[in-house]
Amino acid sequence: MSAPIDKPPSSCKVMLSKNVANHLLSEVHEGLKTLEKSPHLVGLLANNDPAALTYAQMTQKTCEDNGFKYTMRQVSRDDIEQAILNANTDNNVDGIIVYYPIFGTRQDQYLQQIVDMTKDVEGLSHRYIFNMYQNIRFLDGEAKRQKSILPCTPLANIKILEYLNIYNTILPYGNRLFGHTICVVNRSEVVGRPLAALLANDGACVYSVDITGVQKFTRGEGLQKRTHEVVDLEGKTLKDVVPHCDVVITGVPSDKYKFDTSLLREGAVCVNFSSEKNFPHEVRDKASLFVPSIGKVTIVVLLRNLLRLIQNKRMDDVKPAEATERPGTLEASS
């Protein structure tokens, strides 16, 4: 009988998102101490998506374990508009999350826009999205007291890269990804495209890959631009860009999809935000760090956004109007 050939142990460190989540939770607990009463988050569920229900239940548990109040309201999709309007005017509600997809059409974007901006924990209101793409970090211009709200899943990915020290804190805020080349596989409007923009705004060169093709997001040579620019890389595919990347982030919503790890640069950092396992087990033979899922971080970011909304509301004696159009600054972190 021949002895089994042992593979050398993998040098890849697998980082579970709960480590990052716990780190962020301590920040959330500090914020909570400054409030008189528990923040109240309302989750509106108007679809039969099991992923949305799981996500809602996980959010409820995290809220209850950490001093937040969470109420799930299940409504039919015909009643969702009225349910949002009721939560908007209810003084006992601090934050609202509506689980999507509901109609799966532009009606979903309509619903996103009727959530009161001061209760929009997901940062889906037009003004927040505009600020994000334009790299405007505050709602009150030069006063810089009210931070704009960033979308939860893109921000969760950023918090993970910060935790993994991909962000270089010796560099000034806004430039801390300078020198990194990052591939994001998914260009949806809710996660992939905003994520590519945020990473590029922080100084990275980002290849954004979708089934429609590859785009490159950068702030130009030597980070000359204030916000990112995008170019279509016609004819290029994942295979052309991945070998250049030191970070690869995947979000393909299919259990059939497996990332071809032979393309990875040795020692790349790999993060998967899809609820499916996009990386096969062999990723451990190539990657230096691997984060298999990020859901727990997303939920803590949601709570952090809720605290931020409450802090912004407190400062509302300073009127935030007209601040949106002013050029942003690069001096504050996400």
Ligand X SMILES: NC(=O)C1=CN([C@@H]2O[C@H](COP(=O)(O)OP(=O)(O)OC[C@H]3O[C@@H](n4cnc5c(N)ncnc54)[C@H](O)[C@@H]3O)[C@@H](O)[C@H]2O)C=CC1
Residues 262-281, interacting with ligand GUE (CB under 6 A): 275
Query: What span, in angstroms and rounded, lies between the C-alpha atoms of 237 and 185?
Result: 11
Residue type for position 214? V
Site for ligand GUE contains 100 (CB under 6 A): yes
Query: What span, in angstroms and rounded, lies between the C-alpha atoms of 161 and 20?
Result: 10
What does 266-323 look like in DSSP terms, one character per residue?
A: TT-EEEE-SSS--S-TTHHHH-SEEE---HHHHHHHHHHHHHHHHHHHHTTTS--TTG
Question: Coil, strand or helix: which one is 150?
Answer: coil
Q: Binding ligand GUE by CB under 6 A: which of 131, 134, 135, 298? A: 298
From the list ligand X, ligand GUE, none, pick the one residue 66 interacts with, judged by a Cβ distance below 5 to 8 Å according to partner type.
Answer: none
Residue 99 and residue 52 in contact, taking contact as beta carbons nearer than 8 Å? yes
Site for ligand X contains 157 (CB under 6 A): no
- Select from 184, 205, 181, 204 the least CA-distant residue to 193: 184
Binding segment (CB under 6 A) for ligand GUE, from list 44-52, 84-92, 225-233, 324-332 = 44-52
Q: Binding ligand X by CB under 6 A: which of 1, 5, 211, 321? A: 211
Is 152 among the catalytic positions? yes
Count CB-CB contacts under 10 A for residue 237: 11
Site for ligand X contains 276 (CB under 6 A): yes
Q: State the minimum distance, in angstroms, from the CB of residue 10 to ligand X.
A: 24
How many residues of this chain interact with ligand X, rule: CB under 6 A? Answer: 24
| Token output for 145 | 């007291």
Instruction: Give the helix ranges, DSSP H, for the chain.
Output: 17-33, 50-65, 80-89, 106-114, 126-134, 152-163, 192-201, 238-241, 283-286, 295-314
Binding segment (CB under 6 A) for ligand GUE, from list 20-28, 52-60, 161-169, 317-325 = 52-60
Which helix (H) or strand (E) segment holds residue 75: the answer is none
Burial class of 176 by CB neighbour count within 10 A (0 to 12, 13 to 18, 19+): buried
Site for ligand X contains 185 (CB under 6 A): yes
Convert residues 20-49 into a mask of x (bound to ligand X by CB under 6 A) and - (unbound).
Answer: ------------------------------
What does 153-172 look like in DSSP terms, one character per residue?
A: HHHHHHHHHHHTT-S-TTSP
Site for ligand X contains 187 (CB under 6 A): yes
Count CB-CB contacts under 10 A for residue 233: 15
Q: Which is nearer to ligand GUE, 14 or 51 (CB)?
A: 51
Q: Binding ligand GUE by CB under 6 A: which of 20, 25, 45, 52? A: 52
Site for ligand GUE contains 125 (CB under 6 A): no
Q: Binding ligand X by CB under 6 A: which of 95, 203, 251, 320? A: 251
Binding segment (CB under 6 A) for ligand GUE, from list 84-92, 233-241, 294-302, 321-329 = 294-302
Binding segment (CB under 6 A) for ligand GUE, from list 35-43, 54-62, 222-230, 322-330 = 54-62
Binding segment (CB under 6 A) for ligand X, from list 6-14, 61-69, 165-173, 290-298 = 290-298
Q: Which is nearer to ligand X, 223 or 299 (CB)?
A: 299
Query: What span, in angstroms and rounded, lies between the C-alpha atoms of 329 and 131?
Result: 11
Please give the residue ranges that form the binding site for ligand X (CB under 6 A): 51, 153, 156, 185-188, 190-192, 209-211, 251-253, 257, 273-276, 294-295, 298
Catalytic residues: 152
